[in-house]
């Protein structure tokens, strides 16, 4: 399958030339094409921000919702139709800040979705305020003396919550990022891929060069089934490890656990609406209230 099936044709892309969002868009299209996922069987769910605009630039089913709210919408879409491939994709601010509560509880629910986070360590769309992953000392027009809060560590949180699949990638490495995304999409429960991505306009600290110099790939000997080792690696901050930190394939997904899908595997749209049963339920509810 050709990655061009996901192209939307002639449109203005509102990202700055050189932005790390471009390679992520390209890598994802190629990954999905390699996996032979048809645009009709895919749903891309995003929130608000520069990264969240990715849903505008993809020819597929999309849901571009409220700030920080991509994950509950993605969970519901997957539960309503488990035959779909569902990707929830947004920025570090959207997923870890405004959507932080959903991030935690989606990992607990464990739906079979892929959660891709464009982590540029800044609020790009709103012109450069610190985000939850901004580094200590990062100066912005708001944090004039530099950020003094310790950055949020999404990988350590996800591993602590025993997420199904936890990885970190770099937008500047198409080959490795594609390999990681392929495994994440194939994984049969919640999968987090935090992609380090330069914002060339508002983050002059974490540049392409900075990521090249401050990241390294996990050693071949790293065992992703070893949760303690994965946690230890996730808490390394001197240099940032890249790769697949943790996989737990034993967990049942949300869709495997919910009663409505245990009794009947069909997506909701294929089922008959049982009006009679519904009216009995409503009448019963009325009489008890």
Ligand X SMILES: Cc1ncc(C[n+]2csc(CCOP(=O)(O)OP(=O)(O)O)c2C)c(N)n1
Question: Nearest distance from residue 125's CB to ligand X, in Å?
Answer: 4
Site string for Mg ion, 82-121 (x = CB under 5 A): ---------xxx--------------------------x-
CA angle 103, 8, 51 (to 5 degrees): 30
Binds ligand X (CB under 6 A): choice among 124, 154, 164, 224: 124
Quick one: the chain helix, strand, coil %, rounded to 5?
40, 15, 45
Binds ligand X (CB under 6 A): choice among 118, 168, 187, 233: 118
Q: Give the span between the Cα atoms of 82 and 100, in whole angstroms.
A: 25
Q: Judge whether 182 and 34 are in contact, CB under 8 Å.
A: yes
Q: Give the span between the Cα atoms of 63 and 36, in whole angstroms.
A: 21
Question: Nearest distance from residue 12's CB to ligand SF4, in Å?
Answer: 13
Q: What is the dihedral of CA 206, 207, 210, 216, to 10 degrees?
A: 90
Asked whether position 19 contacts ligand SF4 by CB under 6 A, the answer is: yes
Asked whether position 46 contacts ligand SF4 by CB under 6 A, the answer is: no
Asked whether position 51 contacts ligand X by CB under 6 A, the answer is: yes
- Binding residues for ligand X restricted to 75-104, rule: CB under 6 A: 90-94, 98
Helix (H, G, I), strand (E, B) or coil at 73: helix
For the record, the structure tokens of 150 come out as 């310790």
191 binds, among ligand SF4, ligand X, Mg ion, none (CB under 5 to 8 A by kind): none
Q: Which is nearer to ligand SF4, 16 or 76 (CB)?
A: 16
Q: Give the span between the Cα atoms of 178 and 173, in whole angstroms.
A: 8
Q: Which residue stretch of 26-34, 120-128, 269-277, 280-288 sits at the interface with ligand X (rule: CB under 6 A)?
A: 120-128
Residue ranges in contact with ligand X by CB under 6 A: 48-51, 67, 90-94, 98, 118, 120, 122-126, 131
């Amino acid at each position: 399958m050709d990655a061009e099936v996901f192209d939307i044709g002639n449109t203005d892309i509102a990202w700055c030339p050189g932005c790390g969002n471009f390679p992520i868009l390209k890598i994802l299209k190629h990954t999905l094409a390699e996996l032979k996922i048809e645009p009709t069987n895919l749903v891309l769910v995003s929130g608000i921000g520069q990264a969240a605009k990715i849903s505008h630039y993809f020819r597929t089913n999309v849901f571009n919702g409220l700030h920080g709210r991509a994950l509950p919408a993605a969970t519901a879409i997957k539960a309503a139709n488990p035959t779909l491939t569902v990707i929830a994709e947004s920025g570090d601010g959207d997923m870890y800040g405004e959507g932080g509560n959903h991030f935690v509880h989606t990992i607990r629910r464990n739906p079979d979705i892929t959660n891709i986070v464009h982590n540029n360590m800044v609020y790009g769309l709103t012109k450069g305020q610190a985000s939850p992953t901004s580094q200590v000392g990062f100066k912005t027009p708001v944090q004039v003396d530099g950020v003094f809060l310790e950055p949020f560590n999404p990988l350590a949180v996800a591993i602590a919550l025993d997420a199904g699949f936890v990885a970190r990638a770099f937008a500047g490495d198409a080959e490795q990022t594609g390999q990681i995304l392929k495994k994440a999409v194939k994984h049969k429960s919640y999968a987090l891929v935090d992609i380090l991505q330069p914002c060339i306009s508002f983050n002059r600290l974490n540049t392409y060069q900075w990521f090249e110099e401050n990241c390294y790939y996990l050693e071949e000997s790293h065992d992703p089934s070893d949760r303690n080792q994965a946690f230890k690696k996730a808490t390394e901050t001197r240099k940032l490890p890249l790769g697949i930190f943790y996989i737990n394939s034993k967990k049942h997904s949300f869709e495997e656990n919910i009663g409505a899908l245990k009794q009947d595997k069909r997506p909701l749209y294929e089922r008959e609406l049982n009006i009679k049963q519904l009216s009995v339920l409503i009448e019963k509810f009325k009489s008890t209230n």
